[in-house]
Structure 1
């Protein structure tokens, strides 16, 4: 009977020496797989890097079975792998990138990270083992309710895709944790002004001397947060999501959100991108914001984007935004998405028509009213007015003689 293979594994290949005993080749980690040696290029002390190489090798070697099987015979790793391949093709087409440059796109990186996290927990399990108890164990291990819900939504989509492709027929249910309360943190006008001025005035601090004993930092001429001031203005006055703000450009091109400075229109959906559930309608630009945009374009006509850092388009402002919030002395819970909450809140506070406000922000009327409706000056105003109003004296019913009798409606008789 043939011996069972050990599978792919790491092995430390000893250093090689010449006849005089001098080391000619340093010890390195290799991957042993059924008599085949695969170099990792990792030295003896680079164990973590070698383990990553082994993980990548096993992943690339594995090919999921694409045929109908019972869920007790289907590994969740196969389900995730098939879904990953299908979604990456869509994402590459959406962002016009190939496999080598896809990791430069934040959305693709985040998606791959979520699938990898799911595979670490679920990959070794069979599809028939996916149930409510297993989902709750995953949520407990993940520790964050919002993050675990997002991951499980991906798992549900992967299982649905697997079934839609005809690879299994049984029903597999995913138990999702309850949704958290919607965030409606917003900035006051003074908070917004403080944040913008902080970004505009801040100067990078560096040590004035290279001596290790000198810890005194002095301001330099570098302004590392000025690009964020533009980002904040765009976010507050347009209510646009961060991705479309970063892609805003006075020059129409694939992958950019075109801003027509002549007609005053903001085409938030990137050119060449398909519409998604995240609504990005074309909207007119407020005059105050349009004046800023035109001035920025006159100052640098060669700039391809309105928000650039060191001459390059930004892909994420989370780190810079976090620093700006801290320097401005604002409270916790403020992120780039807070700018969108701020725009919605200001619109409601100024009594904007809810239907037009929802269209301008690119959200449903239901979400706008449920999340921000209480900021509107007319919120429940009719109910408040009616509950405290009194009937005019002339309209009081003559038959009402007491609180009890006032609750009874008399029946009129028609005399024959």
Structure 2
């Protein structure tokens, strides 16, 4: 396992008047400065221009750490959720920082997966960030080409969804639990709208910059807030089911500002508390995302068309057909009819 890179830093030799810049894999460079303050400015200029020469360099002369740094500094600030890129880079740097782009190949990627010791899904996301960083460096003219990472096999899609009896038990457990009544609201919104966890927790009853909101007069759910950036996880508006609309009106009439709140404050996360009510309800393999699986599955089982389901649940039709299609009432109906029909 390669050592984590220390990065560019100042160094002072005992018998030399000037400060030097020391960087992993590169010769020491004099700042020409005898004062620490001036040397710090020189170091800042060095870091700002590191890896940014006018001409593209060859992959064997460019480290993965440099590619990741450029990606974090230049591209990450332009996306809706830069922290996700940051999490991946924090995981990647200890292993990849000093390796050249030419070291990125199947054997190294498999070694990273073994060293990381995380789920294939996690490793795929992290290596995907490395690929994106190298592609960016190539596209922006820092390197002449970008190698391809080797990804672990994609995990199978989760098939877990709740029966109506299980869903009712989960809601009732949350409502009766100590300090978990707010989770009953979270579960109901998830089951009726199939909205993702983070989007639910940001939703309120008035427009805001934090997240989406429920327009109870028009019966429309807006999953995105004012000024929020669109991401790959689409958050399109949708009509509010009448059963949920009744609940929402009662919650707002009671003085609630947020759809899911505790003592008047918006909930930041429900990971631990949700796991607790799942255990108390005697269920297994249920996560907040299971609510989205359940909502889509129920809709297809009730006869909804995949096109309408994709629009309502803000999910691509390809994903609906691939992951949930077998739940549709007309699944392979024409083929079955052809097989059973008399000649």
Q: Structure 1 or 2: larger helix share?
A: 2
Distance in 1 (alpha carbons) for counterparts of 2:254 and 2:289: 28
**1:175 and 2:150 matched:** yes
Distance in 2 (alpha carbons) for counterparts of 1:163 and 1:386: 53
Q: TM-score, normalised by structure 1?
A: 0.69
Q: Aligned to 1:304, what secondary structure does the other structure show?
A: coil
**Structure 2 partner of 1:270:** 225
Distance in 2 (alpha carbons) for counterparts of 1:168 and 1:108: 23
- 1:292-338 deviation per Cα after TM superposition (whole angstroms, max 9, x unaligned): 111100001xx43111123222222111111111111101x211110
Instruction: Give the 3 Å change call, closer, same or farther, for CA 8–285 of structure 1 in structure 2.
Output: closer
| RMSD, aligned α-carbons | 2.4
- 1:30-53 deviation per Cα after TM superposition (whole angstroms, max 9, x unaligned): x995379xxxxxxxxxxxxxxxxx
**Structure 2 partner of 1:322:** 275
**1:70 and 2:23 matched:** no
Give the C-alpha shift of residue 382 in structure 1.
Answer: 2.8
**1:112 and 2:104 matched:** no
Distance in 1 (alpha carbons) for counterparts of 2:157 and 2:201: 24
**1:244 and 2:219 matched:** no
For the pair shown, the structure with the greater C-alpha radius of gyration is: 1
Q: Aligned to 1:248, what secondary structure does the other structure show?
A: coil
Give the C-alpha shift of residue 386 in structure 1.
Answer: 2.9
Partner of residue 328 from structure 2, selected from 362, 371, 376: 376
**1:258 and 2:246 matched:** no
Partner of residue 304 from structure 1, selected from 254, 257, 270: 257
For these two proteins, the number of residue pairs brought into alignment is 305
Instruction: Give the 3 Å change call, closer, same or farther, for CA 111–320 of structure 1 in structure 2.
Output: farther
Distance in 2 (alpha carbons) for counterparts of 1:295 and 1:110: 36
Instruction: Give the 3 Å change call, closer, same or farther, for CA 8–167 of structure 1 in structure 2.
Output: closer
**Structure 1 partner of 2:34:** none
Distance in 2 (alpha carbons) for counterparts of 1:149 and 1:277: 17
Q: Aligned to 2:288, what secondary structure does the other structure show?
A: coil
Instruction: Provide structure 2 residue ranges, at least 5 long, that are not aligned to the other structure.
Output: 14-18, 20-42
Instruction: Provide structure 1 residue ranges, at least 5 long, that are not aligned to the other structure.
Output: 1-6, 10-30, 37-58, 95-106, 204-223, 392-416
Partner of residue 142 from structure 1, selected from 93, 116, 123: 116
- 1:116-161 deviation per Cα after TM superposition (whole angstroms, max 9, x unaligned): 1100110011122111211121122223211111100000111111
Distance in 2 (alpha carbons) for counterparts of 1:173 and 1:109: 24
RCO higher in structure (CA 8 A, sep ≥6): 2
Q: Aligned to 1:334, what secondary structure does the other structure show?
A: coil
User: Which structure 1 residue ranges, 4+ long, deviate > 6 Å from structure 2?
Assistant: none
- After TM superposition, the structure 1 = structure 2 runs for residues 9-20 of structure 1, keeping only pairs within 5 Å, are none
Give the C-alpha shift of residue 109 in structure 1.
Answer: 4.2
**Structure 2 partner of 1:288:** 243
Distance in 2 (alpha carbons) for counterparts of 1:228 and 1:179: 31
Give the C-alpha shift of residue 69 in structure 1.
Answer: 2.1
Q: Aligned to 1:249, what secondary structure does the other structure show?
A: coil
Distance in 1 (alpha carbons) for counterparts of 2:282 and 2:107: 44
